[in-house]
Amino acid sequence: MQNLRSAQSGRPSEYFGELTFHQPAMRQYLPEETFINLQDAIHRGERIDRRVADQVAAGMKVWAISRGATHYTHWFHPLTGATAEKHDAFINPVEPGRAIESFGGKELIQQEPDASSFPSGGIRNTFEARGYTAWDPTSPAFLMDNTLCIPTIFVSYNGEALDTKTPLLRTLHFLDEVSTAICRLFDNNTDKVVATLGWEQEYFLVDTALYHARPDLVLTGRTLFGHSSAKDQQLADHYFGVIPERVTRFMSHLEFEAHRLGIPVKTRHNEVAPNQFECAPVFEEVNLSVDHNQLMMHLMEKIAPHHGLTVLLHEKPFAGVNGSGKHNNWSLMTNTGENLLSPGKTPGSNLRFLTFLVNILKALDDHAGLLRASIASAGNDLRLGAHEAPPAIISAFIGSQLSETLDKIEASSENTLVKHTKTKEKLLFNLPKIPEILQDNTDRNRTSPFAFTGNKFEFRAVGSSLNCAMPMTALNLMLADRLKKFKAEVDTLTNRGNSTEDAVLQIVKKYITASKKIRFEGNSYGEAWTEEAASRGLPNINNTPEAVSVFSRPEVISLFADNHILTERELRARQEIHYEQYTLRLQIEARVVGDLATNHIIPVAIQYQNRLIENVKGLKEVLDAKSYSRLSNHQIQSIKDISNHIMEIKTHVDEMIQERKTANRIDDPADKAFAYRDKVLPHFEIIRKRVDKLELLIDDELWPLPKYREMLFS
Ligand code: ADP
Ligand code: MG
């Protein structure tokens, strides 16, 4: 498909990462000193000096050109949630008739794409329309279709973040700093902590020919109409079933290209809904894993058509069957390879584990609204709380064993936890033991949006099409901020003469009590939970405009600003873009609903109705009056039903268009988004219900759109 190999051949271990300028290629193409300098700078998160950049660029150029590259691009993540690139050729004319390939440190480090069309939420005025992209050396450059792609951040003329990567990197740095300081309360071996992410990507595949016959799928990524199929997922016969042959060919092809790009994809299986699937890699450092997920989604869309398939990454492409999510498995790992969310073998490492666990719970309790906001999208609104996906209420599941442990700590007096010895030292005593393997599959709660799964948290409310950078930024920041405060509280106590263990336990205990309401072990899909969550005062935010409004709460603004992740202006810009994206998506959907109803559905309904009318007239001619009145009733009723449906569809399409026009005149992005939510969106369901009824009435031969049973079962 792209350079080097024309077909899938060899073993994964032979071609893994061959399209990336990662450590093996760097060792081969960079002078040793440059390699060491680069790795050092990456490890310490320092700026790379120009001399080193020139040498890296020289090596990267030779590596890329020897693999057939003709162009290079900075690859970045603007606030649309997608990725962006603008290719430049290596070619550089040096005299008439002669050119050389050139690429230097300057081109590697920084570019100025004329990016004025990207959303900036009002950050850039026209006089400063340019944005800059700057090299992110922590994510390796890679080759895609003969183009050298260099992962970069994207900032404005004034250095304000215009992308999702910049704040993510800032939170990772912050989290490293504070987590390392916390680890050092327990031992001195830790000098770096990285956050880790393993995503599980769900998606649908549909036959490409059918896809193209559905304007709603093509333009909005989801079906706006469609009666459910007689059989869909009731029999649960798709989940983990035998993967269809065409899909296996697609998956193998996808994995082959992913492995060449160094994406460690490992797992693949059928999901619950028909034609729904999942793939998951081995976890990696968060920034790299986020880039890999963006790349993976791109590869999926690119490779599927080679197999006559189109991939749907939308959160809810089909009503009535499961939607798609992207579980984000998240943890923390030290430079010594220890998982901070793995319960330890000794009381000391157990205390460290409990410290991180309890800080996460407290952070979640403080900022549940922000976490919900970080996964807000029009598509995800259709999935969350639909009894097949986590509710819109954020809570955490930790399992019975851990719950008991936390309850015991909470109930204990300080003296039962810390034993005073003859020497002045205090020893941890009676700290509830936590076995290493915490949970087996019987103690898993699949209904929780945020579940502890033995050595990591699984954030399940993330939507399938979303860029993981946003939820990861929120989680990292919430935790880092909490750890910072935790450390300060511990320091205050130790300065007063308490031992570290004593101090840690006291604060841990306090946090357990303070964050109790965020813990929920029961069924999150149940009605009872909605009521209980309300009585606990937990937010239940089931729509994007409301979720996005959280970004302008004072505590959220100061969380981002005080920790130097995003200034208030940068955060408000993001909020504005969120509102705009929501409005635009609904605007497009509303247009497609109107167009399909008016130009595809109603004409066919009338055509079929005319047939019935002809039929009734014919019956009158051939039948005696008594038989006629008995036999024509059925058709006449159908004729009336069709008229009723048409009338309702027309009325609501007209009203929807009027509401859209009114909403479009609103200037304020928030008010506009709310108007779309309250005035435009409700018409979709009403129109859909009528259209789906018509689908059941009208001759199958005439129906203009592929049906659910066709799209989900071919
Ligand atoms: P499930 O039963 O939910 O499918 P798995 O154990 O198969 O869970 O893991 C799912 C994902 O969790 C994989 O992407 C895996 O790499 C990731 N994962 C495992 N350990 C960690 C960790 N320490 N940090 C982040 N992700 C992890
Ligand atoms: Mg999982």
| Pairing verdict, β 450-452 and 396-397 | parallel
CA distance 129 to 156: 8
**In the predicted model, what is the mean pLDDT of the chain?**
92
Q: How many CA atoms lie within 13 A of 485 on its CB side?
A: 18
CATH 1.20.120.1560 in the chain: give the residue spans. Answer: 581-711
The number of angstroms, rounded, from the C-alpha of 188 to the middle of its chain's C-alpha atoms is 36
pLDDT at 63 over 80: yes
- Level-2 CATH architecture, domain 12-162: Roll (3.10)
- CB of 329 sitting under 6 A from ligand 1: yes
Quote the pLDDT of residue 445.
Answer: 81
Q: 507-545: per-residue pLDDT in tens?
A: 999 999 999 999 999 999 988 999 999 999 999 999 999
- Amino acid 530: pLDDT: 93
Measure the CA–CA gap between 577 and 572, rounded to whole angstroms: 9
Cβ proximity of 418 and 502 under 8 Å? yes
Q: Binning pLDDT at 50, 70 and 90, where does residue 430 land?
A: low
Q: What separation, in Å, do the N-terminal and C-terminal C-alpha atoms of the chain show?
A: 26
Residue with tokens 């130790």: 494
Separation of alpha carbons 714 and 709, rounded Å: 8
Please report the pLDDT score of residue 424 as a whole number.
47
- Cα–Cα distance for residue pair 611/653, rounded to 1 Å: 25
The per-residue pLDDT for range 605-635, each reduced to its tens digit, is 999 999 999 999 999 999 999 999 888 888 8
Does residue 198's CB lie within 6 angstroms of at least one atom of ligand 1?
yes
Q: What is the share, in percent, of the chain residues with pLDDT greater than 70? A: 94
Pocket of ligand 1 contains residue 472 by CB under 6 Å:
no
Domain with CATH 3.10.20.70 in the chain: 12-162
Count of other CB atoms within 10 angstroms of residue 611: 15
Stretch 238-255: mean pLDDT, rounded?
A: 90
The residues of the chain that CATH labels 3.30.590.10 are: 173-566
Report the percent of the chain where pLDDT is more than 90. 78
CA-to-CA separations, 272 to 87, 224, 269, in angstroms, rounded: 40, 21, 10
Give the pLDDT of residue 1: 43
Q: Is the pLDDT of residue 163 over 80?
A: yes
- Per-residue confidence band for 433, with pLDDT thresholds at 50, 70 and 90: low
Distance CA 661, CA 188 (A): 63
- Three-class SS state of 382: coil
160 in Cβ contact with 144 (< 8 Å): no
Q: For ligand 1, is residue 456 a contact (CB within 6 Å)?
A: yes
Give the span between the Cα atoms of 521 and 407, in whole angstroms: 13
pLDDT in tens, 376-416: 999 999 999 888 888 899 999 999 888 988 998 898 876 56
- Poorest-confidence range of 163-167, 230-234, 439-443, 666-670? 439-443
Closest protein CA for atom 11 of ligand 1: 198
CATH topology of domain 173-566: Creatine Kinase; Chain A, domain 2 (3.30.590)
For residue 419, pLDDT over 60 is answered with no
The pairing of strands 265-270 and 193-207 is unpaired
- Please give all residues whose CB falls under 5 A of ion ligand 2, grouped by chain where several chains appear: 327
Average pLDDT over residues 552-556: 97
pLDDT band at 438 (very low <50, low <70, confident <90, very high): low
Q: Which backbone phi and psi does 94 adopt, to 5 degrees?
A: -110, -30
Q: The domain 581-711: what is its CATH number?
A: 1.20.120.1560
Indicate if ligand 1 lies below 6 Å from the C-beta of 460.
no
Query: If pLDDT is split at 50, 70 and 90, which confidence band does 9 have?
Result: confident
For the stretch 562-602, pLDDT in tens is 999 999 999 999 999 999 999 999 999 999 999 999 999 99
Residue 591 Cα to ligand 1 midpoint, Å, equals 40
Residues 6+ apart with CB under 8 A from 523: 447, 529
Pairing of strands 71-76, 147-156: parallel
CB 572 within 8 A of CB 548: no
